[in-house]
Amino acid sequence: MASLQHTPSIHRTLFLNSVPQLGLQKYGTFPCCSRRGVSFLVRADQLPAASSAHRQDRPQRRQVLAVGAIASWVLLVNQTSTSFAAENKKGFLAVMDKKDGYSFLYPFGWQEVIIEGQDKVFKDVIEPLESVSVNLIPTNKQDIRDLGSPQEVAEALIKKVLAPSNQKTKLVEAAEHDVDGIAYYTFEFVARAPNYTRHALSAISINNGKFYTLTTGANERRWEKMKDKLHTVVDSFKLFNV
């Protein structure tokens, strides 16, 4: 079974050198911050002693319930302000990064992992080729259309960035669409490694002085089962001003 490290990811490449007309800076690594959480442990000897009197037992139960409610509230407050996960569509969770200005959906059950050079990564723990990743780099371009046609930009990204050089790649299709005045390119491609083939979808755009790339995919043998979910993921990718 292929591990996540063999899936298409943003390599530390000088994309500027490989595709000069893009005018993009280096696809480098980004510092990752560990997620912070708040945990509560209440030992039995910390709870009020049980009383046989009914009038004492009821206030104690209320006290325990109040502690649980406070714990839940604190957990919510301590979620990071830059991103959150909440149900937005049946079978999916939503991520919104308020710092970098993007949002997307991912299938319920996928787990967040930290990968060097990626801003966000979620993957299936059983099927590691089923994942979604978001990468962003600074750019002086203002619009994705400044870089070329959807086919030109997609082929350059696939060959130079999204798949290792030892994999055979094929662009299936590429398209352009506009949402709230922001242009996006979306494309479908296949990357063949010696021991597996990954069928993938990507969405790219420019906003906030950054070049954004979202890529999701699955093992070719599971493509027919997963393609609707993966299309939901890539179609949900949206940018907003920050």
Calpha distance 4→9 (Å, rounded): 9
Report the share of the chain in percent with pLDDT over 90: 62
Considering its fold, how many domains does the chain have in total? 2
**Tokens 């714990």 belong to which residue?**
71
Q: Are residues 95 and 49 in the same domain?
A: no
Examine the fold and report which residue of 77, 99, 131 is the final residue of a domain before the chain moves on.
77
As a whole number of angstroms, the distance between CA 78 and CA 37 comes to 7
Q: Is residue 39 part of a domain?
A: no
Cα-flanking dihedrals φ and ψ of residue 66, to 5°? Answer: -65, -40
Q: List the domain range (segments joined by +) for residue 55.
A: 44-77
Q: H helices within the chain, ranges in order?
A: 15-18, 54-77, 150-157, 223-236
Domain harbouring 165, CATH code: 3.40.1000.10
**pLDDT one-digit tens code per residue, 187-222:** 999 999 999 999 999 999 999 999 999 999 999 999
What pTM, to 2 d.p., does this model score?
A: 0.69
**Does residue 160 sit in the same domain as residue 71?**
no
- Whether 49 and 20 share a structural domain: no
Q: What is the mean pLDDT of the chain?
A: 76
Residues 180 and 125 placed together within one structural domain of the fold: yes
My answer on whether 105 and 196 are in the same domain is yes
SS3 letters across 45-64: HHCCCCCCCHHHHHHHHHHH
Tokens of 17: 């050198």
Query: Are 104 and 179 part of one and the same domain?
Result: yes
Query: What pLDDT was estimated at residue 89?
Result: 85
Cα–Cα dist 190/36, whole Å: 37
pLDDT at 6: 37
Same domain, 87 and 181: yes
pLDDT along the chain (242 residues), means of 10: 37 41 42 31 36 47 48 41 56 96 98 95 96 97 97 96 94 97 98 96 98 98 97 98 94
Count other Cβ atoms within 10 Å, centred on residue 159.
16
